[in-house]
């Protein structure tokens, strides 16, 4: 039965957007391969891979295993990431290196490892979860914004290569999403429903994209809460 299911690989499925996407696909009878440090999803059609994605050597080995074990993956959702906001001089050198490993290089390595399988089948979809920060900058956002700008630049060229092989590629750039992303930050979205995007909203969009026409590429999708309100803690 599993062999007849659509297979999707998702990074960062322990919580937030990644978990919501995984649950949406699982509910709709897809087989989900989730890569995360921890796993709380319990389902027959969920295969967990416990891996610290910022450990690029270990992440690469995990991807090689998945690539060989599951060559028929039809979609990849590159989601894992975190936010840090501080003055540049307050970050240590190792913090900067580790941050870009997780928030930029891991996306690039995931694409490098998995795109060849999709190109061979000449079908499928690759979805990156970006941020509104792909196009803006802000005080104390040097690491976060530069990683997201880099992801958008990478995506633009990656999309051209993927489309040439009949593989669709999309980047979703959401505004503030109501998740644990803000738990350790000094700001959060307003409490009203219209002040933040829900993780389930992103999951609905991803599900739509995965099931849309293989002849159409939805490219650069920007979504915002109806009313942007920021609360300082």
pLDDT string in tens for the chain (233-residue length): 345 789 999 999 999 999 999 999 999 999 999 999 999 999 999 999 999 999 999 999 999 999 999 999 999 999 988 878 889 999 999 999 999 999 999 999 999 999 999 999 999 999 999 998 888 888 888 999 999 999 999 999 999 999 999 999 999 999 888 877 777 777 778 888 998 899 999 999 999 999 999 999 999 999 999 998 888 87
Which helix (H) or strand (E) is 157 found in, with range? helix 142-164
For residues 158 and 181, give the distance between their C-alpha atoms in angstroms, rounded to a whole number: 27
CATH 3.40.50.720 assigned to domain 2-232? The reply is yes
Residue 51 bridge partners (DSSP): none
Tokens for 221, please give them.
Answer: 């999708």
Tokens for 87, please give them.
Answer: 């003055």
For residues 71 and 120, give the distance between their C-alpha atoms in angstroms, rounded to a whole number: 10
Q: What is the pLDDT of residue 1?
A: 39
From residue 180, give the alpha-carbon distance in Å to each of 98, 151, 183, 188.
20, 22, 5, 10
Q: What is the pLDDT of residue 195?
A: 87
Tokens for 190, please give them.
Answer: 């307003």
CA dihedral 91, 144, 110, 217 (to 10 degrees): -170
**Domain residue spans in the chain?**
2-232
Q: Quick one: which of 120, 7, 114 has its CA closest to 60?
A: 114
């Amino acid at each position: 039965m599993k062999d007849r299911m659509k297979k999707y690989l998702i990074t960062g499925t322990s919580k937030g957007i990644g978990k919501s996407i995984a649950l949406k696909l699982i509910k709709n009878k897809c087989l989900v391969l989730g890569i995360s440090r921890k796993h709380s999803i319990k389902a027959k059609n969920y295969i967990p891979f416990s891996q610290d994605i910022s450990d690029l050597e270990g992440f690469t080995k995990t991807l090689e295993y998945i690539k060989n074990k599951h060559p028929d993956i039809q979609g990849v959702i590159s989601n894992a990431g975190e936010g840090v906001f501080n003055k540049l001089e307050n970050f240590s050198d190792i913090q900067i290196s580790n941050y870009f490993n997780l928030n930029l290089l891991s996306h690039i390595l995931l694409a490098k490892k998995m795109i060849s399988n999709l190109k061979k089948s000449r079908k499928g979809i690759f979805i990156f979860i970006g941020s509104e920060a792909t196009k803006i900058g802000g005080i104390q956002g040097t690491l976060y914004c530069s990683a997201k700008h880099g992801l958008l630049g990478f995506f633009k060229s990656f999309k051209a290569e993927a489309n040439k092989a009949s593989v669709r590629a999309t980047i979703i750039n959401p505004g503030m999403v109501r998740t644990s992303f803000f738990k350790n930050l000094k700001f959060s979205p307003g409490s009203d429903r219209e002040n933040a995007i829900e993780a389930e909203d992103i999951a609905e969009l991803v599900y739509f994209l995965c099931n849309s026409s293989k002849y159409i590429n939805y490219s650069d999708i920007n979504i915002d809460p109806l009313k942007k309100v920021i609360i300082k803690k």
